Amino acid sequence: MARLALLGAALLCALAVSTQGSPEGHGTKTEMMGAGRLLQQGPHTNSDPPYNYNCHGFDWAASSSSAEITELCDSPASSFPVADCDGDMQSPINIVTSELADPTDRSGVSGINLRGMGSSDFVLRSNVKLNIEQDMKISWDAPTSGNLPTIMIDGTEQRFQPIQLYFHHFASEHTINGQLYPLDAHLVMASLDDPNQLAVIGTMYKYGNGDDFLARLFGKVEDALEERDDVSYGSKEVPIDMEISPKDHVLPQSSLEYAGYDGSLTTPPCSEVVKWHVFTSPRTISIDQLKTFERVSFNAHPNEAIPTNNRVIQPLGTRAVYRYEATAMDDSGDGTGNADELSSPTTVTATYDIMVSGTASSLADMFNNGARLDNGGFGPDDQAEADLLRQIQRRARANSGAEGAEVVRMMKFTAALGRRRLNQQGAAAEMDIRYYFEGSTDQEEATSAVNGMNPSSLGSSSSGLTDVQQTEVTSSASSLRAGLGLVVAAFFGAALAL
């Protein structure tokens, strides 16, 4: 299981799973064996140290002896550091909404500023991999710059990159007003400014309508199991073609109020390095969807798995928990934002190699013929193409942090031009996007923001825009806008006709 990757230097992966144990959180492992949480002992041979519920299915405590750890885990005690698991800032906790403190009373730490991640157009889709395991962990190539979430910590605004998403099922880790939920999701983020600092967004699920994102996720599981001989229950890091929008797929769809507090990893080494943000309004999940987690768990670990993978509630101690409300971005518009209102913007133009088919191929043809959102070039029958263009521009803006973004060129290539070979999935093409930043943003900072994006975040498999690869970034005069794009497109269009 991914839980085993928590060991030693793999600190970031420690949040990938969690387990439950002693109601008090301080019992020994031997005592835990009689607590009703453990089923048959047995190794999971694809993990190191071996997967073992006697070892991994309890609530850790520093009071556990080395002999107990060695006996129950069938591994040296040094593999399971638990020294911090008796700390004063452990997670999870029970959140009492009537007792949440005013955030202005919190010293040295702010709430989370979602920035671009508060937009539907902030997507994670580069090198997405899935564990067909109890935690159903999803990972991706984490963005390193752009419009990333920030938290003010001790006077420094730290940027956080989302690195993985995973689930606790049949019993949530945190409780709200004493209530357990059947599922919670944890979006783990790592600070780009402090290698020892993590942050987690937690979202609860209650019984109700099925969740569309989970339905698509389970569909990817079934496809992988049916279509690939090298994939089975228990397989890890299985590549899947899927995009994750934190706003649409993780955050609650109603209130964005959340509880923020200082806590820990919920598995060894239980390091107290986590800024928790637990949203108090749930999403919904159907009973059948919840059973899918159970089926995956038991098929991955026959005769040894148990339905839940949550750690028990830990003492709050002297800590305060604070009330916040996140702000989502306005996803309306065409992505150009207020670029027209900037008097002297800093501009950067990026060139992308792309593959186009379906709607994207049609958009490239229309763009090459001069169609633009503001010139009436898209008719009633061209709404799919117009919507795709708006989506590309919004995603460029949301993921870069620019004030606005505009596609100024989209052009197909022929095989004779020697760019990229045509294939059955579509045609090779190039796309230029101009990014507009505030004039106070220097050129180097603006270029870095664009370079730090995952180009794949601009793509859309359903619309046929795939294999997005950045090839060049240049500064450009702020006065050049779509008019120049029309001239360039016309020039290359003429070249193609020769």
Question: If you write DSSP's letter for every residue of 106-154 in order, what string do you get?
Answer: -SSEEEEE-GGGGSTT--B-SS-EE--STT--EE-----SSS--EEEET
Instruction: Give the dihedral of Cα atoms 432, 330, 457, 423; nearest 10 deg.
Output: -60
pTM: predicted TM-score of the whole model, two decimal places: 0.76
If one compares 197 and 27, the residue with the highest pLDDT of the two is 197
| Mean pLDDT, residues 290-319 taken together | 86
- Alpha helix positions (H), 267-339: 287-300
Residue whose tokens read 């989502």: 328
Residue type (1 letter), 278: V
Each residue of 26-59: pLDDT tens digit?
233 222 222 222 222 222 333 444 444 445 444 5
Structure tokens at 36: 């009703």
Cα 281 from chain centre: 19
Distance CA 111, CA 262 (A): 11
| pLDDT > 80? residue 404 | yes
| pLDDT > 80? residue 16 | no
If one compares 495 and 144, the residue with the highest pLDDT of the two is 144
Which residues neighbour 369 within 8 Å (Cβ) at sequence distance 6 or greater?
Answer: 377, 493
| pLDDT > 60? residue 497 | no
* In the chain, domain spans: 86-325, 339-497
Each residue of 430-459: pLDDT tens digit?
999 999 998 889 999 899 889 888 888 898
Give, for 419, the enclosing helix (H) or strand (E). Answer: none
If one compares 60 and 179, the residue with the highest pLDDT of the two is 179
Which residues neighbour 433 within 8 Å (Cβ) at sequence distance 6 or greater?
Answer: 349, 350, 352, 392, 393, 396, 405, 406, 407, 408, 458
Half-sphere exposure of 14 (CA within 13 A, CB side): 29
Residue whose tokens read 């750690």: 311
Q: Are 411 and 430 in contact (CB under 8 A)?
A: yes
Residue whose tokens read 């030693």: 8
Each residue of 233-265: pLDDT tens digit?
999 999 999 999 999 999 999 899 999 999 998
Per-residue b or e along 68-82, where b marks 16 or more CB atoms closer than 10 Å to that residue's CB: bbbebbebebebbbb
CATH number of 86-325: 3.10.200.10
Each residue of 84-120: pLDDT tens digit?
778 899 999 999 999 999 999 999 999 999 999 999 9
pLDDT of 376 = 76
| DSSP code of residue 251 | S
Q: Could you write out the three-class secondary structure of 400-415?
A: HCCCEEEEEEEEECCH
| Mean pLDDT, residues 311-334 taken together | 88
Nearest to 307 by CA among 57, 28, 131: 57
| pLDDT > 50? residue 3 | no
